[in-house]
Chain A
Amino acid sequence: MDIKGLNVTVHDMTLRDGMHPMRHQITLEQMQAVATALDAAGVPLIEVTHGDGLGGSSITYGFGAHTDEDYLKAVIPLMKRAKVSALLLPGIGTEDDLRMAADCGIHTIRVATHCTEADVSEQHIKLGRKLGLDTVGFLMMAHMNTPEGLVKQAKLMEGYGANCIYVTDSAGHLLPDGVAARISAVRAVLKPETELGFHGHNNLSMGVANSIAAVAAGARRIDAASAGLGAGAGNTQTEVFVAVCKLMGIETGIDLLAIEDVAEDLVVPMRKEPQRISRDALTLGYAGVYGSFLGFAARAGKKYGIPAREILIELGRQKFVGGQEDLIEDTAMTMARQRPAA
């Protein structure tokens, strides 16, 4: 398919998925500075809040430096062109959280479930539509379902009222063929007016390649983060994606030099440690493990003397899904106990 001339909406993840490596401690001032610069660079949609979405602030996932409400109220009034979105995982966030975010002025709500559990999103997708929001169904860990399986789940979300469906590669495990197969299958059965999106991670260095494959297969929204700031080895790097789009003739409406500067001048200096495809991040991608488990496994590994990589492989073996961060320390303790004394 010729993708030249297509318009793609880049959805910024720096201030939401990027909260994972920042352990949810991005300050209000940093959020405002980054969001303002993204807006000025022409990024049309920016996600804000705790890394695990509305209501994510907790012992289990880490308390945020500020409440979701504070973050949204700090960022939304400063936006000249960009709209702001929030993420909600049913089971963690609630309708009350969604109403709060709508009152703050979000434009988009993304309701996220594991890729086989779309029917827990009905309540929140329906409320999103009732509140007049751009409402997205977000199917996480998409590598754990077949294209045909994803189609069924996507249809459920579309049926509840979602006007856009995401194939979300939370583990950064998919390769371009797998992305294309999933997006194409979903595209073939959803209503033509229902948009498709793709959310990639860089654990196998596939963020940009997968995003381009998604566009070619019919996705029109692509998630990306400045300097790739995000869980695991990070998200699709916005500035690289924008550059590749320019070379391929895909329109993003984003100024390349300005978005490079956001990454280099604002986001890179903010990072606690360099983001790279470490052996642990590579393990996430290779074994198909939820991206935000990385830091938890590293900390539990240190505490109980088990290499993080071994913990991540065990979590993959036990088919952990997003949200099970609470059991990472438990798993490390059990592994330490079963290990012969050194």
Chain B
Amino acid sequence: MDKIRCAIIGPGNIGTDLLYKLKRSEVLEPVWMVGIVPDSEGLARARDMGLKTTADGVDGLLPHVAADGVQIAFDATSAGAHKANSDKLTALGVRMIDLTPAAIGPYCIPPINLGAHAGRNEMNVNMVTCGGQATIPMVRAVARVQEVEYGEIVATVSSRSVGPGTRKNIDEFTQTTAAAVAGVGGAKKGKAIIVINPAEPPLIMRDTVLCLTQDEPKQAEITASVHAMLAEVQTYVPGYTLVNGPVFDGKRVAIYLQVKGRGDYLPTYAGNLDIMTAAATRTAETFARHMLGTTAATV
């Protein structure tokens, strides 16, 4: 089968884990890794894995976009750098998958709105946050059954899996996730909380989804909807599991999840990072199938 050629911007933990996932893809072929530090480990690793690399940032990639047929680029840099990267690449017709908190394009939570984004040929989509990828599908699983007055999510992550960028601007996580709990999840109002736990050995990511329904919860329908959504997320995040719930208490619906990573490049406890790269890969694969004209088999 033909493959759509991709570039990854940012050879750090996220970019490298993404590279491992793209290498397995039937419809994507990673061809370029873009960095800014010439002797970085990430660039060296990408070269070892057969990619072309540049340490001149996106400007180093631009002259090769047409010749190498790059059609999709993943941005795993920072919110500050994303807009310029995106502007330069989308001008050349490259579609951007944004893993930074910049969110200049619409939010993408694959089981909820990826199909719609692919159908509209969206040029830039944003992958929200790790906590958002882990929980918003479940907010939706409740909201597609009945009106959710209020949705609240709590993401507990291991200290080792939270990088300096997130720590410097923790509000970006809480505010972006809360906005997407409402905007994409379908709750009338959203709230997000993140808790960082330093325990050793590191804890595997945990996520709690709490919804207040407008009317009495339709328990059987919600339970069925939650299990259907679970199966859907598991198609791209095999370590996504329901630990307990849904539990009903008056109008409160509680869903307790765990996200164990695949351990591609990042350790398995870092389910928070894995679900981001997995969701980004799923998004690019769906775009690629649209581009290749084989949409029937996808979401």
Contacts and interface: CB of A to CB of B under 8 A. Distances in A.
Interface of A: 58-60, 90-92, 94-95, 114, 116-117, 119-120, 122-123, 144, 318-324, 326-327, 329-330, 333-334
B243 A330 contact: yes
A32 B169 CA distance: 35
A318 B167 contact: no
19 contacts: A59-B252, A60-B152, A90-B170, A91-B194, A92-B174, A114-B196, A117-B167, A119-B164, A120-B167, A122-B167, A123-B168, A123-B169, A319-B203, A321-B198, A324-B156, A326-B208, A330-B206, A330-B244, A333-B247
Contacts of B206: 327, 330
B109 interface: no
A60 B210 contact: yes
Interface in B152-173: 152, 154, 156, 159, 164, 167-171, 173
Given A91-B194, A326-B208, A123 B170 contact: yes
Interface of B: 150, 152, 154, 156, 159, 164, 167-171, 173-175, 191, 193-199, 203, 206, 208, 210, 212, 243-245, 247, 252, 254, 256
B88 to A, nearest CB: 29
A323 B193 contact: yes
Contacts of A320: 197
B177 to A, nearest CB: 11
A303 to B, nearest CB: 9
B210 A59 contact: yes
A58 B159 CA distance: 24
Contacts, number: 94
A322 B212 CA distance: 24
B102 to A, nearest CB: 17
A58 B174 contact: no
Contacts of B164: 119
Contact of A334 (B167, B244, B247): B244
B171 A95 contact: yes
A212 B117 CA distance: 62
Contact of A323 (B169, B195, B199): B195
Contacts of A322: 195
A60 B154 contact: yes
B78 to A, nearest CB: 15
B197 A319 contact: yes
Contacts of A318: 199, 203
Most buried by A among B159, B167, B170, B197: B170
Contacts of A144: 198
Contacts of A60: 152, 154, 193, 208, 210
B178 to A, nearest CB: 9
Contacts of B194: 91
B197 to A, nearest CB: 5
Given A58-B152, A59-B152, A326 B210 contact: yes
A19 B198 CA distance: 27
A59 to B, nearest CB: 4
A327 B208 contact: yes
Contacts of B152: 58-60
Given A319-B199, A326-B156, 4 more contacts: A117-B167, A329-B247, A330-B245, A334-B243
B198 A123 contact: no
A7 B61 CA distance: 64
Nearest to B244: A333
Contact of A91 (B168, B170, B254): B170
A195 B167 CA distance: 25
A92 B153 CA distance: 11
Given A59-B252, A91-B195, A120-B196, A327 B167 contact: no
B167 A119 contact: yes
Nearest to B252: A59
Contact of B171 (A94, A114, A116, A334): A94
A116 B208 contact: no
A301 to B, nearest CB: 15
Nearest to B207: A326
Contacts of B196: 91, 114, 117, 120, 321
Contacts of A94: 171, 174-175
Contacts of B208: 60, 326-327, 330
A117 B194 CA distance: 13
